[in-house]
């Protein structure tokens, strides 16, 4: 193998490593129930979030707030399935807007966070 071939082979190996899913893996929110931005006809009993990667339970959380900023979840977050589904139950929600905030640590040690709203119509 000549010098140019070695450089080309190393470049291809680095490119393959850099594009590997393990290198770019983060736990992003895939979907939620209630859905992001949804208006629901009746109050949910829980909020469920599905992520693209398994989560570390001890370092991941979800909180639900009413329009005045008061926390309305029960603080009983749990991970289910392959640890990529996080749930928290909520108190009886009155009609209004609610904000769901989350911060998660995926099993590959990457932190992501975000929030979204939903509305209870009544």
Assign residue 74 the CATH number of its domain.
Answer: 2.60.40.1220
In a domain, 32, yes or no: yes
Secondary structure (3-state) at 25:
coil
In a domain, 2, yes or no: no
Per run of 10 residues, the mean pLDDT along the chain (length 122 residues) is 51 43 72 98 97 96 98 97 96 98 94 98 85
Q: What is the pLDDT of residue 15?
A: 43
In a domain, 101, yes or no: yes
In a domain, 79, yes or no: yes
Secondary structure (3-state) at 81:
coil
Range(s) of the domain holding residue 113 = 26-120
In a domain, 16, yes or no: no
In a domain, 104, yes or no: yes
Please check whether residue 49 is in contact with residue 86, taking contact to mean a CB–CB distance below 8 angstroms.
yes
Q: What is the pLDDT of residue 3?
A: 55
Instruction: Give the bridge partners for 103, in sequence order.
Output: 61, 113
Q: Domains in the chain: how many in total?
A: 1
Q: What is the pLDDT of residue 77?
A: 97
Handedness of CA 33, 94, 91, 65 (dihedral sign): positive
In a domain, 12, yes or no: no
Backbone angles phi, psi at 83, to 5 degrees: 70, 20
In a domain, 13, yes or no: no
Q: What is the pLDDT of residue 9?
A: 46
């Amino acid at each position: 193998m000549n010098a140019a071939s070695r450089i080309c082979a190393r470049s291809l190996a680095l490119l393959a490593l850099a594009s590997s899913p393990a290198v770019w893996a983060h736990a992003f929110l895939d979907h939620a129930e209630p859905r992001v931005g949804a208006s629901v006809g009746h109050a949910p009993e829980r909020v469920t979030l599905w992520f693209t990667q398994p989560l570390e339970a001890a370092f991941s959380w979800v909180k639900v707030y009413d329009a005045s900023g008061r926390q309305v979840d029960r603080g009983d977050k749990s991970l289910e399935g392959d640890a990529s589904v996080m749930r928290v139950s909520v108190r009886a929600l009155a009609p209004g807007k609610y904000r769901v905030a989350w911060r998660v640590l995926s099993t590959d040690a990457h932190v992501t966070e975000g929030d979204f709203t939903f509305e209870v119509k009544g």
